[in-house]
Structure 1
Amino acid sequence: MRRPALQRRVSGTITALVTPFRDDAIDTVGLMAHVERQLLSGVDGLLACSLTGEGPVLTEPERARIIDICVELAEGQVPVIVATGTNDTATTIEETQQARKLGAAAAFVTLPYYSKPSQKGLVHHFERLADSTDLPLIIHNLPAHTAIDLAPATVARLAEIPTIIGIADGSGDIARIGTWRPLLPEWIGLYTTHDASALAFTIAGGRGSFSSAANVVPRLFHSMQLSAGCDHLPAARLIDDRLRPLFKALAREPEPATVKHALSLTKGMNSEVRLPLTTIEAETDAAIQAAVASLQLDCHSHAPTPPTFRLGL
C-alpha cells in the first residue's frame, strides 16, 4: 500500500455528507444531486455514513446504496471515505470489509463509544481491525460523543499500525497538533471534524477537515482551506469571518438536523431526520436563516434538481 500517496490525496475539504430522507427512506435522487453539487464545488473528498450522515441509524442495504452512489459519482476524482466505526470490534471489522468491497478509499473509524474501553483496549481494537482488512484507516477521536480520549502514548502506539494513515480530532483543541505531531511519522495526517476551528487547525499544520458545514457552503469552505494551504491567510481569515455565523448556528443543535435544515432553505432538500434526532427548534431556525441570509446563499423551496447524468447503479 502506498501510504504517503493516499495520505496526500486525503487532504483539504472532505464533506461529511448528510443522508437525505423522504418518508423514512433514502431520498436517492436528493442524495445524487447533493453529491454532484459537492463535486462540482471542488471539494477534495466525500465522507459517507458518518454521524453527520446518520450512519448509526442506517440499515446495511442503505449503507451499501449510499456508498455505491458516492463511489460511482466520484469516479475516482476524489477519495470516498466511509465511516465504519461502532462500539463493537467484530461489527467494525464487518463494516470496514464491506466498505472496501464497495470501493471506499479509506475507512473513518471512531473510537468505540459507550463501552469506554481502556487505552490498551483501543490499541487492541485497531490492531485487530488492521489485521482483518488492508483498507487504510483514519481514526476519529470525538470525546464528546464517545466519552473517551486518545492519550499521547496511545497515539504513539497506533502510529505503528501500518494501515493507519490519519487521525481526525473533533475536540476543537488546536494544541492536539503540537502534542501529537512529534509522535507520528510525517505521512500520518492530522485532521479536524470541528468546523469552527478548521482554519486554525490548518494553519497549525493540519492536513484537512471533515466538515459538516461544507454540505451547505462547499465552495466557500473549500476556498478557505485552499487559501490557508497556500499561505494566503488574509483571504482565508476573511472567508472564516463570513462563515462564523453559520458555524455558530449549525452548532446550536445536533448537526445532522441543523445542516439538513440549512439545506432545505438553500437547496430544497427534505429536512427529515430519523429518531432519536428531531427537527430543530424555532430559535435555531431563526439563527440558521440569519446566517444563510448573511452569506447571500440562494434559497429554494422546491425539490432538488435530479443529476444531469445517468448512473449504472
Structure 2
Amino acid sequence: MHSPSSWLRGYIPDLPTPFDSIHEIDLTSFRQLCERQIAAGATALVVGELTGEDSTLSPAEHSALVRTAVQAASGRAAVIAGAGSNSTSQAIELTKQAEADGADAVLSVVPYYNKPTQSGICAHFYAIADSTALPIVLHDVPSRTVRDLSDDSITQLAESPQFIGLRDATGDITRPLRLRSLLRPEFRLLSGDDTTAPAFLVHGGDGCVSMTSNVAPDLCQQMYRSCRQGERQVARNLAVQLGLLTAALSREPTPAPLKYVLSLLGLMSPRVRLPLVELPNDAKSDIAAAVESLFKECGFYPVVGPTPSLQPSASTL
C-alpha cells in the first residue's frame, strides 16, 4: 500500500461480522461486505473491531476475518485490523497475528476496565509499537473504556511516525482545531462518532471510522467529498440524511440494529453473539419503518444484488 496518509481518510467502514445459522462466521457474506465498500470508494476497511463484535471472536476467527479482507481488497483498499485489548500482552499477540495475516495497519484501543493512568496508556501503546512494524491507529472511546486519551498523550505518541492517526469517538468536534497545529501534517484525525462526524470534518478532521457507512457507503463518501470541496449546502443536506440514518441505527446497542438493516438489504444475517441479542420485534418494526421513511424522503432506494448499495436520485443533492 501507499503511504498511510493516502488511504487513512474519508469514510472508513467499521465492518460487522456476519454469523450463520450455527453462529459461525459467514466469510462469504463478509467478503461481500468488503467488496461493496471498495466499490463505493472506501480507501480502507476496519475489521474485527467494535462493530465487528471483537470481544466475542476467538483468535482464529479474528485471523480468518483479516485474511479474508486482505484477499478481498487485493491492494485496492487498506485493511486495518482491530487489535486492542486491556491486556498489553494480548494486544501484542493480536497485533503480531494481524501483521502475519497481511493487515496494513492495526487499530488499538485505550485499555478498558483497568483504568490506567496516562503514563500507563502511553507505555501500553509503546510496547505494542515495539512488537510490530505495522502502523498503528489509536482509538479513543471513553464511553466504553472509562479512560480517555488526553491531548498531551496524543501529541506525545504522534511524535513516533509509527502512530499514524486517531479514531476519536469522544464526540468533541473541536478536537481537530486543538490538535492540528500540534501534530505532524501526515497524522490523521478521524471521527469515531457518526453523529458528530460531519462537524468534525468541517473543523479539520480527515474522515470517519463509521458504522453508518455500512448501510449507505455512497452517501457517506459523498459527504466527505462535499466537505473537502467546500460544497456547504450539499454537505448540510447530506449531514441531515446521515444523521437520521445514524439515529435509527442507534436505537439499540450496536451492532444489532445495523445487522438487522443489512439483513433487510439481503447482505447478511441479523444474528449477534451473546451477551448481545437480536432486536425485539417492536424495535425491528420501528427501525425498519424509520429507515424506509428515510429512503423515501431522501430519494434513496436499496439496490440488492452482488454489491447492494443506496443509490441517490437526481433530486437528492
- Do they superpose with TM above 0.5? yes
Structure 2: how far apart are the matches of 1:299 and 1:272?
22
Q: Please state whether the residue corresponding to 1:209 is helix, strand or coil.
A: strand
Deviation at 1:305, TM superposition (A): 5.4
Report the residue type matching 1:221 in the other structure.
Answer: C
Retained in 2: the 8 A contact 1:30–1:306? Answer: no
Deviation at 1:206, TM superposition (A): 0.6
Partner of 1:246: 245
Partner of 1:20: 18
Structure 2: how far apart are the matches of 1:187 and 1:98?
26
Retained in 1: the 8 A contact 2:33–2:267? Answer: no
Report the residue type matching 2:241 in the other structure.
Answer: R
Q: Please state whether the residue corresponding to 2:195 is helix, strand or coil.
A: helix
Relative to structure 1, the CA distance from residue 306 to residue 11 in structure 2 (aligned partners, 3 Å threshold; closer, same or farther) is closer
Deviations 1:39-87 (A, max 9, x none): 1122221100011001111111111111111111111111110110100
Partner of 1:219: 218
Relative to structure 1, the CA distance from residue 268 to residue 6 in structure 2 (aligned partners, 3 Å threshold; closer, same or farther) is closer
Partner of 1:64: 63
Structure 2: how far apart are the matches of 1:268 and 1:156?
40
Deviation at 1:99, TM superposition (A): 0.8
Q: Please state whether the residue corresponding to 1:298 is helix, strand or coil.
A: strand
The answer to which of 71-80 and 284-293 deviates more is 284-293
Match of 2:7 among 9, 24, 42: 9
- With CA pairs under 8 Å and 6+ residues apart, which has the higher RCO, 1 or 2? 1
Retained in 2: the 8 A contact 1:29–1:306? Answer: no
Asked if 1:81 corresponds to 2:85, the answer is no
Partner of 1:43: 42
Report the residue type matching 1:134 in the other structure.
Answer: A
Retained in 2: the 8 A contact 1:266–1:297? Answer: no
Report the residue type matching 1:30 in the other structure.
Answer: S
Q: What's the % identity of the aligned pairs?
A: 37
Aligned residues: 302
Deviation at 1:253, TM superposition (A): 1.6
Structure 1: how far apart are the matches of 2:110 and 2:184?
21
Gaps of 5+ in 2: 309-317
Structure 2: how far apart are the matches of 1:181 and 1:29?
40
Structure 2: how far apart are the matches of 1:306 and 1:28?
15
Report the residue type matching 1:88 in the other structure.
Answer: S
How does the TM-score come out when normalised to structure 1? 0.91
Report the residue type matching 1:74 in the other structure.
Answer: A
Structure 2: how far apart are the matches of 1:221 and 1:87?
31
Partner of 1:112: 111
Report the residue type matching 1:55 in the other structure.
Answer: D
Relative to structure 1, the CA distance from residue 244 to residue 306 in structure 2 (aligned partners, 3 Å threshold; closer, same or farther) is closer
Deviation at 1:95, TM superposition (A): 0.7
Report the residue type matching 1:209 in the other structure.
Answer: C
Retained in 1: the 8 A contact 2:35–2:307? Answer: no
Report the residue type matching 2:250 in the other structure.
Answer: A
Structure 2: how far apart are the matches of 1:289 and 1:241?
18
Q: Please state whether the residue corresponding to 1:76 is helix, strand or coil.
A: coil
Retained in 2: the 8 A contact 1:45–1:79? Answer: yes
Report the residue type matching 2:5 in the other structure.
Answer: Q
Q: Please state whether the residue corresponding to 1:26 is helix, strand or coil.
A: coil
The answer to which of 203-212 and 264-273 deviates more is 264-273
Deviation at 1:183, TM superposition (A): 2.4
Q: Please state whether the residue corresponding to 1:21 is helix, strand or coil.
A: coil
Partner of 1:155: 154
Deviations 1:167-203 (A, max 9, x none): 1111111022222223211111111111111111111
Retained in 2: the 8 A contact 1:192–1:208? Answer: yes
Partner of 1:310: none
Gaps of 5+ in 1: 308-313
Asked if 1:298 corresponds to 2:302, the answer is yes
Partner of 1:285: 284
The residue correspondences of 1:169-180 to structure 2 (distance < 5 A) are: 169-180=168-179
The residue correspondences of 1:135-284 to structure 2 (distance < 5 A) are: 135-284=134-283
Retained in 2: the 8 A contact 1:246–1:288? Answer: no
Q: Please state whether the residue corresponding to 2:16 is helix, strand or coil.
A: coil
Retained in 1: the 8 A contact 2:36–2:307? Answer: no
Retained in 2: the 8 A contact 1:12–1:208? Answer: yes
Q: Please state whether the residue corresponding to 2:190 is helix, strand or coil.
A: strand
Partner of 2:311: none
Report the residue type matching 1:172 in the other structure.
Answer: G
Structure 2: how far apart are the matches of 1:7 and 1:57?
31
How does the TM-score come out when normalised to structure 2? 0.90
Retained in 1: the 8 A contact 2:29–2:267? Answer: no
| Cα RMSD, aligned residues only | 1.9
Deviations 1:104-128 (A, max 9, x none): 1111000001101000101111111
Relative to structure 1, the CA distance from residue 189 to residue 268 in structure 2 (aligned partners, 3 Å threshold; closer, same or farther) is closer
Retained in 1: the 8 A contact 2:18–2:30? Answer: yes
Deviation at 1:36, TM superposition (A): 1.4
